Amino acid sequence: MKTKTALITGAASGLGYELAFLLIKDGYNLVLVDIDASRLKEVKKLFNEKFKSEVNLLVKDLSQPDIAQDIYNEVKRLPKIDVLVNNAGFGLFGTFANTDWKRESDMLHLHILTTTHLTKLILPAMISRKSGKILNISSLAAFQPGPLMSLYYASKSYILSFSEAIANELKGTGVTVTALCPGPTKTLFQETVSNDCSENKISFNMACPVDVALYGYNAMKKGKTIAIPGAFNKILSSIPRFIPRNMTTRIVRNIQEKNRET
């Protein structure tokens, strides 16, 4: 069997690392992309000690304009990319009027432009081969507006909508797209959300990244379009369909305020 290759963004920690581990355990060669060079090197060392697959590292700031083209220029020398995991992301807490625009712009570039452009560049070859899988990391946040994290919630909604749309376009091509929509997960994500509040005050329904990654990985292998880990999260994702949106918005704000209070 020919060796397959997976490209994972945000691979130095959290869900990205866990997904990379599952892929290399299944025999994939890896292209790991992250801004954290030291952690990437640690991951490569760990993987090289346990597995025989090739591990390539790309140290990139995925929030920068046209970074997807830069990444593609480096990986197109490889025979093919069989799996693309668009995982990298971060959040920002605060009222829209007061949050830092540079940070928000970086987040939007990362979640929306880089994810979309990298998919655009890698997808045509998958279609030509009639084989390939794309896993986009969205969030439970994608299903409703999110006061105090307005652009994060909106960008995750974009990822979900984008993934669903192209998954439909790709039916019958041999290529599948899966949007993984986890709820709160115990990763380094919280450290990037707020300088003042590095941990959730609400620990209920906090998921393990190992479990979330495995759920998303299995959903991707099956070609599922939307993957929501956890029965409670599935219920939460459907609630906005049954109650007024302004009520959903108020509930989310109350949760955010409680979660970040000092």
Please enumerate in sequence order all residues whose Cβ is within 8 A of that of 165, keeping only pairs 6 or more positions apart, or say none: none
Strands laid side by side in the 226-227 sheet: 55-59, 29-34, 5-9, 83-86, 132-137, 175-180, 226-227
Collect all residues with Cβ–Cβ distance below 8 Å to 227 and sequence separation of at least 6: 178, 179, 180, 181, 215, 216, 219, 220
pLDDT at position 205: 54
Averages of pLDDT over runs of 10 residues in the chain (262 residues) are: 90 97 98 98 97 97 97 95 97 95 97 98 98 98 93 97 98 98 73 44 67 97 96 80 79 74 56
- What class has domain 5-260? alpha beta
pTM to 2 decimals? 0.89
**80, exposed or middle or buried, with CB in 10 Å at 0-12, 13-18, 19+?**
middle
Catalytic residues: 152
